[in-house]
Structure 1
Amino acid sequence: MIRKYIVERRSWILLFIILQLLILVCAYVDSTIPLRSMIYLFYLSSIIFIIHFVIRYHKETRFIRSLEERDISLDTTSMAEPESPFEKVIEKSMTNQAELLKHAAMNNRMILEHEKDELLSWIHEVKTPLTAMRLMIDRIQDEGMKTHLTYEWLRIHLLLDQQLHQRRIPFIENDIYIENTDLETIIFDEIKTLQSWCIQKGIGFDIQLDEPKALSDAKWLSFIIRQILTNAVKYSPPSDIVIKSYQRNQQTILEIIDNGRGIDPKDLPRIFDKGFTSTTMHQDSAATGMGLYLAQKAAQSLLIRVHVKSELGAGTAFTLTFPQRNAFVRITSM
C-alpha cells in the first residue's frame, strides 16, 4: 500500500526534493547566504514534510484498507460457509423457471410453424375451387352478371394471394432467384389478371417500356407490381395508368403513375407501415393496410428502392429503382 501511495505522489515528492536541493545549491554558490542556516532550514522542512506525509498517508488510505479487509472477509465467509438451504431453493426455482420458459418458447414456435403450414395448405386448397369458379364464370352469357361475378372473384383471388405472400415473406431469402426478368411479360400478365376490373371502371394503360429487362426475381417482382397496380385501379377514376421503364445511371427505373385520389402528405411517411390504411379515407373498410407493407418488404429483399410521389386529388407515382448486378455480387460474397 505504501509503495502505491509513494508512486501516486511521486511528482510532489520530487518537486519538494528539487526545491530543497536548489536552496542548498544557491546557498553554496552565493557566499552572502549562510550555508549552515540553509542546512538547518532543510532539516526542519524535511521533518515537517515527513510528518505531513505520514499523516496524509494514513488518512487517505484508511477507506481503501477497509474495503480490502471487507473483500477478504467476504471471500473467507463465502469459502467457509456452505450455501444456505434457502439459496439452494431459489437457485433451483430459477433454473426450473428458465427451463420452463425455454420449453414454452419452443412449443409456441412449433405451434406457429404448424399453423403457418396449415394456412398455406388451406390457401392452396382454396385455389382449386377458385380456379373452377373462374371457368364457370367465363361460361356465363349474361355480361352484366359475368362482370360482377368476375370482380368479386378477383377480390377473393387477390386477398388469398396477399395472405399467401404474407406467410412467405419471412422466408423470402430461400425463395428468390435473381435474373434478367422480362418486364413486359410480368406487367402484361398482371394487367390481364385485372382486365375485367379495369374494363368495369373504364381504366386503360399507357405503356412505354424503353428498358425491357430488370435484374430481379420474377415471382416476387410480379407480387410488388400487383400490389401497386391493384391500388392504382382501386382508387382511380376512368383514366389511363402510365407505366414506363428506362435506364438511368446504369440502373433500370420502372414508374407506375395513376390519376387517382392521391395520398395526403401527412400519410406518405406511413403508407408502408403494417396495417396503415389512411387518415383522410379512414372509413374505407375494404383496405387492409397490408399490400404496400408486403410490397416494401419484398422490395427490400430484392434491393429495389421504392419512391412514392403523390398529391392529394391529383394521383400517385411509384418509382421502382432496380439494383445493379454488382450489388447482388457484393451481397452474395459477404
Structure 2
Amino acid sequence: MLKIFMIERRSWILLFLFMQVLLLFIAYIDSAIPVKSIVYIAFLSFMIFIIFLAVRYNKETAFYRSLEYWESSLDLSGITDAQSPFEKIVAASITDQTNILKRMATENRMALEQERDDLLSWIHEVKTPLTAMNLMIERIEDEKIKAQLTYEWLRIHLLLDQQLHQKRISFIENDLHVEKVALEPLIFKEIKNLQSWCMQKGIGFEVDLEASEVLSDEKWLGFIIRQLLTNAVKYSEADEIIIGSTEQSGQTVLQVRDFGRGIDPKDLPRIFDKGFTSTVNPDQAATGMGLYLAKKAADSLLIKTHVKSIPGAGTTFTLIFPKPNEFVNLTRM
C-alpha cells in the first residue's frame, strides 16, 4: 500500500522537491541570499514534509486498505468510514451498487426457489399417473410387451428422480440427516427398482458386504448408489455386477464393478463433469447429469469417489466413507 500511495502522490512529492531545489539554486546564484540559511530551511521543510507524508499515509489509506481486504460478500460492515470528499464519492457509489446487487440477488434467489418449488410440485404430480401406469403394465399378459413397457417406464422414473435431486442438490446442506445406515437393505432396494431392466438384459448381482453399516444420509446415499447401479446396468456387457464393501483403516469402502465396455482413458478425468457424455460411442439419450449429481452429493457427505476402468474389461466405482469423527462439522450444519 505504501508503494501505491507514493505513486499516487508522486506529482505532489516531485513538486515539493522541485521547489526545494529551485530555492537552493536561487540562493546559490544570488549572493545576497545566505546559502546556509536556505539549506537549513530546506532541511526543516523536508523533515516536516516527511512527517506530513507519514500522517497523510495512515489517514488516506485506511479507507482503501479496507477496500483491499474487503471480501466480495455484499457486506459493507468491513469498510472503514470515508473521510475525504473523494472517499465519500467512492463509498456512496459502492453502497449504491451493493444495494442494487443485494436486491437483484434476492429477486433471483426468490425466482429460483419458486421455479424449484414449481418443478418439484410438477414432478410429484407426474408420479401419480406414473404409478398408475406401472399398475396397468403389471396387468399386461404379453411378457415381451410388458418387459418393453416396464423398461420405458423405468427410464421415465429414473429421469424424473434425477431431475428431482438436481433441484434439491443446491440445498443439500439443509436436507442432510446423518445416521447409521444399513447397506444391505439399501442396496437391495435399489437393485429391486432396477429388476425389470436387469431381467431384460440378463444381469445378476453378486453382493458381498463385509461392512454392513455406514454413517451417512440414507436418502442421498441411496441416490448415489442408484446412479452407480444404473450406469453399471446400462453399460454392462456381462451377466454379473459385483457389489462389495470392506473396512480399511477405519473407513468403509464400497465398490460397484461391472464388466462392460469400460471408459476411454481420455474420458476418465471428465466423467463427473456436468453434462459430459462419452466421446467414444456416445449415447444420444444420455444427459451427462447422473454421475455429476452423484459426485456433488458424495462431496457433501464427505464421501471420496474413485473410478478405475479398463477399456473392454469394465469399470469399478469406489466410495470411501469418512471416519465417524470427520462428521463433526457436517452434523453441526
Fold shared per TM-score above 0.5: yes
Letter of the 1:279 partner, please give it: T
Residue in structure 2 matched with residue 31 of structure 1 by the alignment: none
Displacement of 1:329: 2.6
Report what 2:75 is aligned to.
none
In structure 2, the partner of 1:300 is: 299
**Could you tell me how far apart the structure 1 residues matched to 2:283 and 2:94 are?**
50
TM-score (norm 1): 0.72
Alignment partner, residue 43 of structure 1 = none
The alpha-carbon deviation at position 55 of structure 1 amounts to 5.2
Whole-Å Cα distance in 2 between the matches of residues 97 and 302 of structure 1?
A: 37
* Contiguous gaps of at least 5 residues in structure 2: 1-34, 60-84
* Corresponding position of 2:323: 324
1:121 maps to amino acid: S
Tell me the TM-score normalised to structure 2 length. 0.72
SS state at 1:205 partner: strand
Q: What is the Cα deviation at residue 245 of structure 1?
A: 1.1
Query: 1:165 is aligned with what amino acid?
Result: H
Q: In structure 2, do the counterparts of structure 1 residues 100 and 215 end up closer, same or farther at CA, with 3 Å as the change threshold? A: closer
Deviation by residue 1:99-155 (Cα, 9 ceiling, x = unmatched): 544433322221111111000000000001101100000000000110110010000
**Whole-Å separation in 2 of the counterparts to 1:56 and 1:255:** 85
Closer, same or farther: CA 251–68 of 1 in aligned 2, 3 Å: closer
Q: Please give the alpha-carbon distance, in whole angstroms, between the structure 2 residues aligned to 1:267 and 1:228.
A: 17
Q: What is residue 200 of structure 2 aligned with on the other side?
A: 200
Question: Structure 1 residue 314: deviation in Å?
Answer: 1.2
* Identity across the alignment (%): 61
Q: Provide the residue aligned with 1:272 in structure 2.
A: 272
The one-letter code matched in structure 2 to 1:238 is A
**Unpaired segments ≥5 residues, structure 1:** 1-50, 76-82
Question: Rg bigger for which structure?
Answer: 1
- Whether the aligned pair in 2 keeps the contact of 1:210 and 1:245 (CA below 8 Å) is yes
Counterpart-to-counterpart distance in 1, 2:144 and 2:263: 32
CA 1:95–1:305: 2 relative to 1, 3 Å: closer
Shift of the 181–101 alpha-carbon distance from structure 1 to 2, 3 Å rule, reads: closer
Distance verdict in 2 for CA 1:56–1:156, change over 3 Å: farther
CA offset at residue 303 of structure 1?
Answer: 1.3
- Secondary structure at the residue paired with 1:320? strand
Equivalent pairs counted in the alignment come to 270
Q: Is the partner of 1:261 in helix, strand or coil?
A: coil
Separation in 1 of the partners of 2:262 and 2:40? 79
Provide the residue aligned with 1:109 in structure 2: 109
Provide the residue aligned with 1:285 in structure 2.
Answer: 284
3-state SS of paired residue (1:276): coil
**Per-residue CA distance 1:283-303 (angstroms, 9 max, x = gap):** 421111110111011111111
The answer (yes or no) to whether the contact 1:272–1:292 under 8 Å persists in 2 is yes
More deviation, 196-205/134-143? 196-205
